[in-house]
């Protein structure tokens, strides 16, 4: 995979993550589920920052950053605490795989960004119930 | 000036988005793009593979010495130790040449909390070095593996009691 393609896929993932954490932020009651609401709020801010950084990285290659979709279908029921946590976990795990793919497909500044995102994302995913693994963000073929 | 061939039109951007990983997950249930990898390591990465093996063996030696001195820490360090063994198994598929001597470890502190702090500090340094090796790796797959190893250390440190 080309470096730009990997960055674009990671960026598309961040667009989706920003959208989904935005939706989750509106679903989870801050008064009734303050810890989860805080987590989601932090994740939302984190993915906005990564989206913006990826925009810059793609632009540095003289390519147009991929745009966000107008909307994303929400899989599952996010109206419950368990459903919201499950979706958050799924999004974080998917982003982690994309960071791993970006490490693999890039070099230099782009890879440094991806390694940082991979390491931070590996810890972030545990906030939603994931356990430590031996090779986060990696799927062996 | 960018090459027009690589400029994304809105249509191609949307097509890329529609086939990309998280977007496809959310747009069509859970059919995710394949992000799997096969790790191979060119000769140029052999010194890095050997260093990663040495780092991992040092981690195993430190935890083994620590739990020998403080058996009560075995449970807390079991997962970290298992992770190092998993890393070593993978690394040996890249460099099966010989078995180096077991690295020497400094004496383990007498106090358990000091011993745990020492493990934490050493693991943190190990992750930093793996990060640097990943950045410099010639093979993308090998870089991903080293980055994942650093991330795994971070995960295990996050659940290690302070």
- What pLDDT score does B41 carry? 64
- What pLDDT score does B11 carry? 34
- What pLDDT score does A58 carry? 98
Q: How far apart are CA B20 and CA A97, in angstroms?
A: 12
Higher pLDDT, B112 or A79: B112
Model confidence at A138: pLDDT above 60: yes
Rounded average pLDDT over A97-118: 97
Q: Where are the alpha helices (DSSP H) in chain B?
A: 10-19, 21-27, 46-69, 74-92, 112-136, 140-159
- Are the C-beta atoms of A103 and B147 separated by less than 8 Å? yes
- What pLDDT score does A79 carry? 83
- What pLDDT score does B161 carry? 84
- Are the C-beta atoms of A63 and B8 separated by less than 8 Å? yes
- What pLDDT score does A18 carry? 96
DSSP three-state, residue A48: helix
Q: Give how far Cα B72 sits from Cα of A4, A29, A51, B66, B138, Å.
A: 49, 41, 44, 10, 42
Opening angle at CA A69, ends A67 and A74, nearest 5: 145
Model confidence at B122: pLDDT above 70: yes
- Give residue B33's pLDDT band: very low, low, confident or very high (50, 70, 90): low
- Give residue B30's pLDDT band: very low, low, confident or very high (50, 70, 90): very low
Select the residue from B147, B149, B155 to test the A interface by mutation, using most A Cβ atoms within 10 A: B147
- Give residue A122's pLDDT band: very low, low, confident or very high (50, 70, 90): very high
Select the residue from B4, B19, B27, B35 to test the A interface by mutation, using most A Cβ atoms within 10 A: B35
In B, residues 56-85, which contact A (CB 8 Å cutoff)?
A: 79, 82-83
Least confident of A80-89, B8-17, B77-86, B121-130: B8-17
Q: How many angstroms away from the CA of A118 is the closest CA of chain B? A: 7
Residues of chain A with Cβ-Cβ distance to B32 below 8 Å are: 94, 97
- Are the C-beta atoms of A129 and A82 separated by less than 8 Å? no
What lies within 8 Å, CB to CB, of B58 at 6+ separation is: B103, B105, B122, B126
- Give residue A140's pLDDT band: very low, low, confident or very high (50, 70, 90): confident
Higher pLDDT, A40 or B162: A40
Q: ipTM of the assembly? A: 0.94
């Amino acid at each position: 995979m080309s470096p730009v393609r990997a960055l674009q896929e990671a960026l598309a993932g961040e667009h989706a993550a920003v959208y989904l954490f935005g939706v989750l932020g509106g679903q989870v009651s801050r008064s009734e589920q303050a810890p989860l609401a805080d987590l989601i709020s932090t994740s939302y801010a984190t993915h906005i920052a990564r989206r913006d950084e990826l925009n810059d990285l793609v632009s540095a290659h003289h390519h147009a950053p991929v745009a966000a979709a107008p909307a994303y279908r929400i899989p599952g029921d996010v109206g419950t605490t368990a459903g919201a946590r499950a979706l958050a976990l799924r999004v974080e795990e998917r982003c982690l795989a994309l960071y791993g793919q970006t490490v693999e497909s890039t070099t230099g500044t782009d890879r440094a960004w991806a390694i940082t995102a991979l390491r931070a994302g590996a810890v972030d995913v545990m906030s939603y119930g994931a356990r430590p693994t031996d090779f986060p963000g990696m799927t062996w073929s | 000036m960018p090459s027009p061939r690589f400029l994304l039109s809105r249509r191609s951007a949307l097509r890329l988005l529609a086939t990309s990983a998280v977007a496809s997950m959310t747009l069509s249930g859970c059919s995710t793009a394949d992000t799997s990898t096969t790790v191979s390591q060119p000769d140029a990465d052999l010194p890095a593979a050997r260093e990663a093996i040495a780092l991992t063996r040092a981690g195993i030696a430190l935890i083994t010495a620590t739990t020998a001195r403080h058996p009560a820490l075995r449970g807390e360090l079991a997962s970290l130790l298992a992770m190092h063994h998993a890393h070593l198994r993978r690394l040996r598929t890249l460099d099966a040449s010989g078995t180096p001597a077991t690295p020497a470890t400094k004496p383990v502190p007498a106090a358990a909390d000091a011993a745990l702090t020492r493990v934490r500090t050493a693991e943190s340094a190990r992750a930093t070095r793996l990060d640097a090796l990943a950045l410099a790796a010639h093979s993308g797959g090998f870089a991903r593996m080293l980055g994942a190893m650093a991330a795994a250390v971070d995960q295990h440190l996050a659940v290690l009691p302070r």
